[in-house]
A and B are shown apart, each in its own frame.
Chain A
């Protein structure tokens, strides 16, 4: 006989709070972080005039042609900045002239690390593309950090620019979107041809990251660009059918978690000399390369979400 929790008990569990947060019915910021709703300021005529006057006053004060101190300061600032810039340029070029000759095989940069990556990279990572194999296996921690940087950057931009849903609904068809090409026939026709091709090309780049130039970051950027073209042609209402805020959150967080899990499995087995159960496959085939292919896919999802989120947030303040 399994024990069933009452509603009261379930409400105290972490799972309830997690799913409540995931579904978005409870905003984690409310009652914890002081928040002010972002509203478009509605100005009366007098207020606008006063603002204009303040603006004019500030400009006059900042570039006062009668205030000697400001003029002298500006002149000295420009002079010092120019001197410093020239000094920087001369010293940097001086340093460059002492660097070893470019294109020389005996440079200090082409050392034993590069030799190891090229000579053993294919056997150890299963990737034909050595750069891809390097950044996703030998240097996977570094790339995980990069993915986190992207994640945190979107979180910060969301904090800055995200608008309340009610305001977004009210603004529908206004705000920045007054410049939106509403069902522009040229863009629409071209996008209906281009979007599928761009999406397929992005998936090709994503899946061939270990075989040819490409991989998660470039493929994700192309995927995001395709989504931006789609939004421009068909509007946010159509995009929200397959990509709204909930799907964005789930895709982004699960991609990051997947990367963390795959990466930590790889590192724990490698560091403790335990047998790694991810097969490398036959070198040169599509399904090969061990952890590189799945990591490329999750990184691609992450980057595509980031690109699209930046665009949507800057344009209308919501996904």
Chain B
């Protein structure tokens, strides 16, 4: 075990969030709950990225009073990456939800096992 776990507790929380979302993906049978789990995973990633860019005692990267020294601002790159993540997660969530709507309209169920059972029956297996 490394020495920095206590200092990096925010990242540890981000990892716990990620794993909670991943466990939801694996263990839930309900499709909507799976999608919620996916979104929790996304939140963990954002928290991790945002925490990566933070530097103690520095302010947000918006130039004030014309001061342009590196020692004054936090790292702006992870903040930009979080934005990319949010946009992709919104799109993917909308796509998954629309697929779920179509599945529900067809099979009148959100339970994954039940849907696969009904599909099997349809195919005549």
> What residues of chain A have their CB less than 8 Å away from a CB belonging to chain B?
51, 54-55, 58-59, 61-63, 78, 81-82, 84-85, 88-89, 92-94, 96-105, 107, 109-110, 113-115, 117-119, 121-122, 128-131, 134-135, 139, 142-143, 146, 149-150, 152-154, 156-157, 160-161, 212-213, 217, 306, 310, 313-314
CA A152 – CA B90 in complex, angstroms?
12
Q: Looking at chain B's contact residues, is the secondary structure mostly helix, strand, loop, or mixed?
A: helix
**B22 CB to closest chain A CB, in angstroms?**
6
CA A118 – CA B78 in complex, angstroms?
14
Contact A59 B114 (CB under 8 A): yes
Contact B51 A156 (CB under 8 A): no
Q: Looking at chain A's contact residues, is the secondary structure mostly helix, strand, loop, or mixed?
A: helix
Q: Of B23, B75, B108, which one neighbours A109 at CB under 8 angstroms? A: B75
CB-nearest residue of chain A to B79? A131
CA A213 – CA B95 in complex, angstroms?
29
Number of B interface residues, CB 8 Å? 66
Contact B117 A99 (CB under 8 A): no
Q: Which of B59-111 contact A (CB under 8 A)?
A: 60-64, 68-71, 73, 75-80, 83-84, 86-88, 90-92, 94-95, 97-99, 101-102, 108-109, 111
**B100 CB to closest chain A CB, in angstroms?**
10
Q: Which residues of the partner chain A approach B31 to less than 8 Å between Cβ atoms?
A: none
Contact A118 B76 (CB under 8 A): yes
> What residues of chain B have their CB less than 8 Å away from a CB belonging to chain A?
1-5, 7-8, 10-12, 15-16, 18-19, 22-23, 26-27, 51-58, 60-64, 68-71, 73, 75-80, 83-84, 86-88, 90-92, 94-95, 97-99, 101-102, 108-109, 111, 113-114, 116-118, 121
- A and B contact pairs by CB, cutoff 8 A, 21 listed: A63-B113, A85-B26, A88-B19, A97-B3, A97-B4, A99-B8, A100-B4, A101-B7, A102-B11, A102-B52, A107-B55, A109-B52, A114-B76, A118-B76, A119-B68, A130-B61, A130-B76, A149-B88, A212-B62, A217-B86, A306-B90
Contact B98 A156 (CB under 8 A): yes
Contact A85 B8 (CB under 8 A): no
Q: Which residues of the partner chain A approach B3 to less than 8 Å between Cβ atoms?
A: 97
